[in-house]
Amino acid sequence: MTIQAHADAVLGLLVPAAVTVPVLDGFVKPGTVRPYLLVYMYLETPDGLEAPDAVSLNFDSDVVNFWIYCHCVGDDAKAARAVSAQARLALLNVTPVVGTRSCFPIRNRPGSPPRRDEETGPLVMDQVDVYTFRSIP
């Protein structure tokens, strides 16, 4: 089980057929044209104290909760929502494939509505949608 294998599974769901805007893995190159989907991901292995079902009977912490933060970026709120809708269709309720691990469907978690940013010049709207899924060995 690797973090990259989980990330690759998610990025594989955000292919051009599902998302028509550029999908960026954690980095926006200067000059990138909006709209786009900026994705940040991380893996956590819960302990048995907070999630008793997250450890095996021999107390190995090999269950993974994988978090996906989708920054849906556009020139206005409508554009940010349109990117959000594409990401949602590509991810929500889909069961990723990560090697030999068993995965649960991707679920939505609380995010944030479109937020305006004019600090660097023109208006940019950024809506953050959060998703997660669990995988087990």
C-alpha 76/C-alpha 56 separation (Å) is 47
Q: What is residue 18's predicted lDDT score, i.e. its pLDDT?
A: 87
Q: CB 37: neighbour CB atoms within 10 A?
A: 23
Domain 3-136, what fold? STM4215-like (3.30.2000)
**Token output for 8:** 């690759």
Q: What is residue 110's predicted lDDT score, i.e. its pLDDT?
A: 94
Q: What is residue 94's predicted lDDT score, i.e. its pLDDT?
A: 98
Q: What is residue 45's predicted lDDT score, i.e. its pLDDT?
A: 84
pTM of the full structure:
0.89
Q: What is residue 116's predicted lDDT score, i.e. its pLDDT?
A: 84
Sequence-distant (6+) residues with CB within 8 A of 121 are none
User: Among residues 66, 62, 78, which one has the least CA distance to residue 13?
Assistant: 66
pLDDT tens for each residue of the chain, 137 residues long:
689 999 999 999 998 888 999 999 999 999 999 999 999 999 998 765 555 555 556 666 788 999 999 999 999 999 999 999 999 999 999 999 999 999 999 999 999 888 888 777 788 999 999 999 999 88
User: Among residues 97, 82, 96, which one has the least CA distance to residue 129?
Assistant: 82
